[in-house]
Amino acid sequence: MMKKEYAGLHAALVTPYTETGEVNYRELKKLVRRLIAEGIDGFYVGGSTAETFLLTESERKGILEAVLEENNGEKLVVSHVGAISTRQAVDFAQHAEAAGADAVSAISPFYYKFTQREIEDYYLEIMAGSGLPMFVYNFPNLSGFALTEPFLERLKSSSRLAGIKFTSSDMFQLERIKARNPGLTVWNGFDEMLLSGLAAGADGGVGSTYNCLLPLVRGVYDRFRAGDPARALAFQRRANEAIEVICRHGVFASVKKLLEYSGIESHGCRRPFSPLSPEGEAELRRVYETHLAR
């Protein structure tokens, strides 16, 4: 497997909808083009932020194809292929390879209480089923499964294991994983902790708010890499002022509303997500005018 450069910032893309609730591929492509112009390093497609488990199989595949078409080889494209069913996840991975994605990622199978061995086999079968590098999506708060060293050691038996999307506040574990596995790429997953993740050894980040806060997030990453932690912290604090409001009113709906203020039609989230309250919209408008309006 040819080693690619995976460091940097990768937007966990939202899914814009039309007024009638269909996927709006035109606005999705507009968002991809804007983020490229703002300096994104790559795209994480079809993950939690995309409301992936509220999408049909054809929508998940169509979204990836639209992103790849607009990206046209410019930036890294990672396709999230996670599913409860191994067979379905392998099918998504094979589609991603055929469509031209650079790598795949997968959340661990959830809902049923799968054993560690069953989850290990799930990842190994996905990696065996396509020729793409794999980023394990570690998100214990939602999946119910937390990455362990023995688990990681077994996955390393596959040459296709490229890294980890580490969506956890356990910076000690992040540092230990990176220290013991310097050849693996580790992406920080919680946007409000990007600077903490970088300090612990993360190679970059994947984030929901990168869709709308990229100039601030870029400041965190670039200033840290330049050896200026004080300026990096200043950017993180500015980003966190916005993230605090975003989290208060629902991350996905809030990110989409901020995008709408800047000209990307999104039309909220799919049910059972609730629409934003008038108070939430007003507070997000203030965030936009304070931090994002140009």
Contact yes or no for 146/107 (Cβ under 8 A):
no
pTM: 0.96
Give the pLDDT confidence of 276-294 residue by residue, as tens digits.
999 999 999 999 999 887 6
Per-residue pLDDT, averaged over 256-285, amounts to 97
Give the pLDDT confidence of 115-151 residue by residue, as tens digits.
999 999 999 999 999 999 999 999 998 898 989 999 9
**pLDDT value at position 142?**
86
State the Cα–Cα distance between residues 80 and 77, nearest whole angstrom. 10
Distances (CA, A) of 253 to 28, 89, 98, 266, 283: 15, 26, 32, 9, 13
Which CATH superfamily hosts domain 8-229?
Aldolase class I (3.20.20.70)
Cα dihedral across residues 154, 110, 276, 257: positive or negative: positive
- 206 is known to lie in a ligand binding site: yes
- 49 is known to lie in a ligand binding site: yes
**pLDDT value at position 4?**
57
Strand boundaries in the chain, DSSP class E:
8-12, 42-45, 76-80, 103-107, 134-138, 161-166, 185-188, 204-207
Instruction: Report the 10 Å Cβ neighbour count for 258.
Output: 24
Contact yes or no for 111/83 (Cβ under 8 A):
no
Interior CA angle at 205 toward 177 and 34, to 5°? Answer: 165
The domain segmentation of the chain, as residue ranges, is 8-229
- Residues classed as catalytic: 137, 165
**Considering only CA atoms, which of 221, 287, 226, 289 is closest in space to residue 40?**
221
Indicate the pLDDT class of residue 200, thresholds 50, 70 and 90. very high
State the Cα–Cα distance between residues 147 and 266, nearest whole angstrom. 34
Indicate the pLDDT class of residue 5, thresholds 50, 70 and 90. confident
**pLDDT value at position 1?**
36
